[in-house]
Structure 1
Amino acid sequence: MDVHLYFSLIPEALIASNLPPEKFGQYYATGSSYKSKGQCIFFEVDPKFRSGYFDIDTAVARCVPKADGTPKHSVYISVYRVLEHLPIKALGKLYLTTAYGHTIGLERGAEVPRDTSYSLHLYQDMVPTNSLVVSNLDPVGFYESVTTHPLKFIRFPGLFFVELELGELAEDPENGNIGDLPYSFIHHLREALLELKPPAGNEPSTKETKMVHRVHSLEFPYRMVKRGFYVGNGHDIAFYPMLSHRELRDNYNQWWRSANV
């Protein structure tokens, strides 16, 4: 039976499993009776990947079906500092699983998009930290500001994060209509965004990022993903574009419905 390698983001872990991605997502999200349930996000890792940091061969040797043929669900290889020891080239599809166990896979984008116009952004950091941050930097600029070209003392070897929708608050944080934004911390969010808004006269802002929550829930509404997901290790960064709401409704209706219950 095949052995798959998965890089889980909720929580951070490198896992070997006999289950293919869709079945692994279902198991990992809904689990057994003693496991807490919830959405999960994970990469499929090149099964040929090996590293001196991870004892992958031992895990693969232990990842064998039971005597009755039941596949081995998971063998944990590492639950600490996984991202910084995974080269981006070893990452395959990114899978998104709802709390009900429905899974879709996202392909890596051909390039990482850049924003040239000024706008405000909301970023959910997921690995190695789980903070919620607003910024006037585009996703690549934000990534570099905490990795390769840190603007402050905080620096990470790599980062996995997602940009979430701000709606009208991206342009007008003070008076913008909330619309269907589901966030329970709107007042605090407005205050944080206002600290990033350029002063009168279009002078550059003196602050590039502002923490909204230092420790934030890793789960978020999939419908709030603005453009896609970003993962980087050092100078290497990749982008996984999110499917449009229309495509999700038309082609992945069961997933879409379970994601918005």
Structure 2
Amino acid sequence: MVTAGKDRGEIIAQLQDVDFSYGANKVLEGVDLTVRRGDYLAVLGPNGGGKTTLVKLILGLIRPDAGQVRVFNAPPAQTRGSIGYVPQYTNIRPDFPVSALDVVLMGLATARSFGLRASSAERDKAMQALALVDMADCADRRIGTLSGGQRQRVFIARALASGPDLLLMDEPTASVDAHARFCFYELLAELSDRVSVVVVSHDLSIVASRVTAIACVNKRLHYHPGPELTTAMLELMYGGHDGHKCPVMAFAHGLPGIMVPPHGKRHV
């Protein structure tokens, strides 16, 4: 299981001068990022800004066109066993015949670790992971009957079951209401004492949840070593359009017109 007490200054993942394109569309350019043990990093930015591509690079699912990606000082494809990944939420039918415990067992390394075929040691690991996310009482419930927030906690438990050192999450609160979202982010802050946490989101409320740093991604990456939203950042995020307030250029950092139409044009 994941354990605390390792060197919090250790570099977990590092991207250096990374470029990536889908065909002629350059998605990331000149990206530098370092994730250290104990970090709780929020990766924020608009849809299409390159956030999910960044996650895929760290997972080793794609390779950069230029630059270097290292995870635990090795190519990402060689270290996937040390990474827990929680993808974007997907709908699950209420009658889907799999329990929360079954879902967590799927996260263990052995392919046969599922349901009745799992060993007692594997079931113990899965239950420990569920307990970490306060879902042990729901172990026998069908995954499709749980709320969106509960399901996401189960998926985190699945990612934690194999004892990773890095937890990557892609838009984990897309299906979670506001109150559950706050509790969810607080859970991630607590987990960062055990495992480095990187959360990709366009939800600005994560900034209030004890993140240790913010990376704003919109083709280029701008790193903010702290959770505070400065006055300059707020002015970028909230601007005036024909007498009303709306999110404007939230993380454009000098790239005009990315999130909203040019000033003076009415929203559709």
TM-score range, shorter chain: under 0.3
Q: TM-score, normalised by structure 2?
A: 0.25
- Judging by fraction of residues, say which structure has more helix: 2
Name which structure has the greater RCO, CA cutoff 8 Å, separation 6+.
Answer: 2
